[in-house]
């Protein structure tokens, strides 16, 4: 299925109202997308609201996490 199949290029001859099946499928898609993205957005908002200093750490705080290079032989 491609985008060309989803969106017809010319108008239909007879305008049909959306059936109940089409509306129920659209409702399920919106509901499932909401179940995925609403918690993610909520966690981002909570992280910014409750911990503003920890959101962006300066580069000098990361220096103690770097392992020193191994010595070479010879």
Q: How many domains does the chain have?
A: 1
Predicted confidence at residue 31, as pLDDT, reads: 95
Domain range for residue 33? 23-48
Phi, then psi, of 2 in degrees rounded to 5: -115, 175
9 within domain boundaries: no
pLDDT at 42 over 90: yes
36 within domain boundaries: yes
Predicted confidence at residue 37, as pLDDT, reads: 94
30 within domain boundaries: yes
Mean of the pLDDT values across residues 34-58? 81
More confident call, 63 vs 32? 32
Asked whether 47 and 55 are in contact (CB, 8 A), the reply is yes
What are 46-56's pLDDT values in tens digits?
888 887 665 55
Cα 54–Cα 60–Cα 61 angle in degrees, nearest 5: 40
43 within domain boundaries: yes
């Amino acid at each position: 299925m491609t985008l060309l199949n989803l969106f017809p290029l010319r108008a239909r001859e007879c305008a049909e109202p959306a059936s109940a099946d089409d509306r129920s499928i659209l409702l399920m898609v919106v509901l499932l997308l909401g179940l995925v993205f609403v918690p993610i957005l909520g966690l981002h908002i909570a992280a910014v609201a409750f911990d503003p200093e920890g959101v962006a750490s300066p580069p000098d705080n990361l220096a103690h996490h770097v392992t020193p290079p191994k010595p070479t032989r010879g």
